[in-house]
Amino acid sequence: MNLLFVSDPLDSFRTYKDSTFAMMREAQRRGHTLAACEPRHLMWQAATGVQAHVQRITLTGHEERWFHETPQAPQERLVRLKDFDAVLMRKDPPFDSEYFYATHMLERAQHEGAKVFNDPRALRDHPEKLALLEFAQFAAPTLVTRDAQAIRQFHAQHQDIILKPLDGMGGAGIFRVREDGLNLGGIIETLNRHGEQTVMVQKFLPAIAQGDKRVLVIAGKAVPFCLARIPQGGEVRGNLAAGGLGVAQALSAKDQEIAQALGPVLFKRGLLLVGLDVIGDCLTEINVTSPTCFQEITHQTGCDVASIFIDALEACVL
């Protein structure tokens, strides 16, 4: 297969942990060819359809200079997306206006014949925090609102709560407010911006002490191991980007139940890869933009997540 990865800049990859890198490495091992671009490199004209200025790359196997770019003339770098066997959208959040525009470009490319994963319309239809609302039977008590008073009432009811912005990633902007309500007003002002920004509020789950579990679902089926991201040093956040400790473990019965309920539904909508976040027995987020934790799970368990993913990609394309 001739694959195009739409991602963050290649120079920003931390290859020892990057899941997109793991996908690339497994794809190259199987003889597939690799190209990469950033969303800013996408372009459309009526005469040509959606194109991108791409880098043709080969992985070197070295940690520092991890890829070699094949020299190309400027005209050779501009390629129609439909000329690739698959296009993988792996740009990290935030899901801002530019990300939104990129999904429309990728959807246009689909209409022209490109195969895009995850499906661009599904990316728009499943914002990572709000996608939870459809599956509330698995969620902790949750409030989504701009109303500061509603947040205060939610705190009065549940006493110990988590507040977070809808567009954050890696644990950014997450706050815990305990029974005493200390600094609740200031946190609401910071996140809510005097009613201008919607906030998600959830009941605090003490099971976070055992980890915020990332359950990967590929082609509708759960990977048999998850990564429990355990908060460290007094942190409330288990995210690896916030210093959490990642511990791979077998799925619990509840993890499997949640994955079996959501997986086939989301796959049917074009979401080849999904990352479910589960604390204890409660679903807290549904990640669809660029789910991670491939390498951590593989290194600790021997379960080759990248191989499972490329198997699924090949089944969809070949």
Give the pLDDT confidence score for residue 172 in this predicted structure: 75
Q: Is residue 213 among the annotated active site residues? A: no
Catalytic residue among 237, 239, 255, 296: 237
CATH number of 2-125: 3.40.50.20
CB atoms within 10 A of CB 92: 15
Residue 238, pLDDT above cutoff 80: no
Domain ranges of the chain: 2-125, 141-204, 207-317
b/e string for 51-87 if b means 16 or more Cβ within 10 A? bbebbbbebeeeeeebbeeeeeeeeebebebbebbbb
Catalytic residue among 129, 213, 239, 255: 129
Residue recorded with tokens 């190309």:
72
Catalytic residue among 25, 164, 203, 213: 164
Cα torsion 37, 38, 43, 49 to 10°: value is 50
Catalytic residue among 119, 255, 285, 296: 285
Common-topology check for domains 2-125 and 207-317: no
Q: What is the mean pLDDT of residues 294-309?
A: 98
Those residues whose C-beta lies under 8 Å from the C-beta of residue 30, and which sit 6 or more positions away, are 310
Give the pLDDT confidence score for residue 122 in this predicted structure: 98
Beta strand pairing call for 2-6 and 86-89: parallel
Q: Is residue 268 among the annotated active site residues? A: no
Catalytic residue among 26, 107, 277, 296: 277
Residue 242, pLDDT above cutoff 70: no
Average pLDDT, the chain: 94
Tell which residue, 2, 72, 11, has the closest CA to residue 31.
2
Q: What is the mean pLDDT of residues 57-77?
A: 92
Tell which residue, 264, 230, 263, has the closest CA to residue 249.
230
Q: Is residue 118 among the annotated active site residues? A: no
Give the pLDDT confidence score for residue 132 in this predicted structure: 95
Q: Is residue 237 among the annotated active site residues? A: yes
State the angle between helix axes of 294-301 and 305-317 in degrees (0 to 180), rounded to the nearest 10: 120
Q: What is the mean pLDDT of residues 165-194?
A: 88
Q: Is residue 40 among the annotated active site residues? A: no
Q: Is residue 304 among the annotated active site residues? A: no
Q: What is the mean pLDDT of residues 279-303?
A: 97
State the angle between helix axes of 148-158 and 184-192 in degrees (0 to 180), rounded to the nearest 10: 140
Q: Is residue 128 among the annotated active site residues? A: no
CATH number of 141-204: 3.30.1490.20
b/e string for 3-40 if b means 16 or more Cβ within 10 A? bbbbbbebeebebebbbbbbbbbbbbeeebbbbbbbbe
- Structure tokens given for 37: 């671009």
Catalytic residue among 56, 107, 287, 296: 287
Q: What is the pLDDT of residues 122-177, one digit of tens each?
A: 999 998 899 999 999 999 999 999 999 999 999 999 999 999 998 876 667 899 99
Q: Is residue 270 within 8 Å of 106, Cβ to Cβ?
A: no
Please state, in angstroms and rounded to a whole number, the distance separating the CA atoms of residues 58 and 87.
17
b/e string for 172-182 if b means 16 or more Cβ within 10 A? ebbbebeeeee
Residue 115, pLDDT above cutoff 80: yes
Residue 76, pLDDT above cutoff 90: no
Catalytic residue among 91, 128, 229, 239: 229
Catalytic residue among 213, 214, 255, 296: 214
CATH architecture of the domain covering 207-317: 2-Layer Sandwich (3.30)
Tell which residue, 52, 58, 60, has the closest CA to residue 33.
58
Q: What is the pLDDT of residues 9-40, one digit of tens each?
A: 999 999 999 999 999 999 999 999 999 999 99
Q: Is residue 129 among the annotated active site residues? A: yes
